[in-house]
Structure 1
Amino acid sequence: MTEAIVRPGRKPLKGRPLGTHRPTRGGTLLTVFVWICVVYFVVPLVWLVVASTKDNTGLFTTFGLWFGQGFHLFDNLADVFSKDGGVFSQWMVNTVLYAVTSAVGATVLATACGFALAKYRFRGSSVVFWLVIGSIMVPMTALAIPTYLLFSSMNLTDTPWAIILPSLVSPFGVYLMRVYAADSVDDSLLEAARIDGSGELRTFATIGVRLLVPGMVTVLLFQLVATWNNYFLPLIMLNTPSLYPVTVGLAGWQAAASSGGGAQVLFSTVLTGSLVSIVPLIVAFLFLQRYWQSGLAAGSVKG
């Protein structure tokens, strides 16, 4: 079906089919940019998957983005989980413990702080908010040494608390939840709850949290990935290999092989271990995505 374009004094012109639009230059450039971003992020993942199916020789004698002559994935997996007495499994458990505990704790604290900054007026609230924004600009590596000295004075180094406690603080999470709460939680709902006799804590738990689910899931995912991929903080805080997360453990394997003059020996093992380490993150994203989408849909409807 087409639309007719009628101009004064002229015959009707046959237009384009309804619902079709001529692509603009800006839209084409945006599409090209999106595809470039897709290639940038997907190619390393494809390379990691393909490399995990090769042995050490195949890594250097075959094309990086295609499979080699043999399929050595299961052999590499066996090497990963059997090396050094199966310590890789302990590293994965440690990583899950550090990441999940830190992500959940940081999400709870960021949600409470963001809600308070958005919905309560108290002396110094603006100063606190600007301090939070300023702390986002400070890189975590700059705080690593002061954090180490602080935890060393409390005899908490080389313990799981040295990784979990610093990760509970998420300035970006507080900022995100403050901005999200300001737009998502209507003040009239809070006033109605107070009139009905609901306390502030109960109002936050029953009304605020339900409306803030999409923002909470966002903070949870960000903090989960940040703690899971954290390398420098565990490196300076931990000395016992059984307490290492998978990032420090894999780096230690590669460093030990390099110092012994046999850097190529563990290439396939380290790469396969890296592939295994990202599987839980993929599962977490797929699992939390439905809560993210359902929360967005529920938050967009106002009663």
Structure 2
Amino acid sequence: MAVTVAARTNALPGQNAGNGRRGPALVPTAVLVIGAAYCIVPALWIVIAASKTPAQLFSSATYSPSLGPGIVTNVRDLSSYDGGVFWHWMLNSLLYASVGGILATAVSAAAGYAIAKYEFRGRKMIFNAILAGVLLPQIVLAIPQYLLLSKIGLVDNYLGVILPQLFNPYGIYLCRIYAMGSIPDSLLEAGRIDGASEFRLFWSVGLRLMRSGLVTTFLLQFVVVWNNFLLPFVMLTSDDKFPLTVGLYSMLRHGADEASLYSLVITGTLLAVVPVIALFLSLQRYWRIDLVSGALK
């Protein structure tokens, strides 16, 4: 009898644990499926809508794709719209995102390296102030930035969009973490003993060991600048300086009087995603190196 009771006692926890593992597993799975659908469904709609002509866009079912040459027609019409201004907006976005991303990554790398590897008065206070900057929404900074840049004549100027985005608090935080984890203090001390200057250590040792982290910082900053709407909307007034976000918005406003522009805006939105996807795929190996090195540490 004692053996039977013990057997039942040992079996019950196992059964409860088994049931407990099965039951709660359905909840996160359902949440993941809903989240994936929430992300995929709008993107799928853009792909399907871009394949339709302006007439089909309003007459056919929402998720029924067009098998005709609608996407080719839309791309051709978009390319000829207002003398090909869409591709000019595309080049502007590439300029803002690439130059802004590279310069912001350089600033973040230098600041993160300095905070991580140097002892100086006020270091903790400065780092806490940088972290507080992450919490500030962009809309709070837009008007002060406009007033400051207007005093030095940078409104409706390319620099008026690039300069405010050079200081990225989150990028500085990431670079500090990467510098602390990937650059041994003993290696820096050995370089100082050999007579290397601090700039030489940062350039030849720090940046080399932080390479995968800098790629991550650049990708995040590139996407932020590429998708930024508020800052260029406030700073720019000339159509030829608009990035894609503001340019497509201006087309959408004109679409209220000309319904055929809706198809062009949707097609432009689809084409605007292509450079970001290409950048992520081309730099994917650095992401893998970063993940593997993080797992080894």
Supply the distance in 2 between the matched residues of 1:24 and 1:72 (Cα, whole angstroms). 47
State the match for 1:203 in structure 2. Answer: 201
For structure 1, which runs of at least 5 residues remain unmatched after alignment? 1-7, 10-21
- Superposed CA deviations along residues 155-199 of structure 1, whole A, max 9, x for unmatched, are 111110011111111011111211232222222222222222222
Instruction: Tell me the equivalent position of 1:237.
Output: 235
Deviations 1:36-59 (A, max 9, x none): 222221221111111100012222
Cα deviation for residue 236 of structure 1 reads 1.4
Cα distance change on mapping 1:196 and 1:28 into 2, 3 Å: farther
Match of 1:275 in 2: 270
CA distance in 1, matches of 2:58, 2:187: 63
Partner AA of 2:31 in structure 1: F
Task: Give 1:12's aligned residue.
Answer: none
Find the aligned partners of 2:67 and 2:221 in 1 and give their Cα distance. Answer: 40
Q: Structure 2: give runs of 5+ residues left out of the alignment.
A: 1-5, 8-19
Q: 1:293 aligns with which of 285, 288, 293?
A: 288
Aligned residue among 255, 279, 282 for 1:284: 279
Letter in 1 for 2:87: S
Report whether the alignment pairs 1:162 with 2:160. Answer: yes
Match of 1:18 in 2: none
| Change over 3 Å in CA distance of 1:266–1:105 after alignment to 2 | same
Q: What SS class does the counterpart of residue 237 from structure 2 fall into?
A: coil
Per-residue deviation at 1:292? 1.9
TM-score, normalisation: structure 2: 0.88
Q: CA deviation at 1:23?
A: 5.7
CA RMSD of aligned residues (A): 2.5
Map 1:1-303; keep pairs closer than 5 Å.
24-68=22-66, 70-258=68-256, 261-262=257-258, 264-298=259-293
Q: How many residues align?
A: 285
Greater helix fraction, Structure 1 or Structure 2: 2
Question: Contact 2:255/2:262 (CA < 8 Å) preserved in 1?
Answer: no
Show CA shifts across 1:197-231 (max 9, x none): 22222222222222222321221111111111111
Q: Is the 8 A contact 1:211 1:299 kept in 2?
A: no
Contact 1:214 1:296 in 2 (8 A): no
Partners in 2 of 1:271 and 1:226 — Cα distance?
21
**Counterparts of 1:131 and 1:24, CA distance in 2:** 45
TM-score, length-normalised on structure 1?
0.87
Q: Deviations over 1:220-266 (max 9, x none)?
A: 111111111111111111111111111111111111232xx33x221
Write the letter of the residue equivalent to 1:278. Answer: V
Q: Is the 8 A contact 2:255 2:261 kept in 1?
A: yes
Contact conserved, 1:156 with 1:162, CA < 8 A, in 2? yes
Report the counterpart of residue 16 of structure 1 in structure 2: none
Would you say the 8 A contact 2:254–2:261 is kept in 1?
no
Q: 1:70–1:300: structure 2 CA closer, same or farther, 3 Å change rule?
A: closer
Q: Report the 3-state secondary structure (helix = DSSP H, G, I; strand = E; otherwise coil) of the residue aligned with 2:91.
A: helix
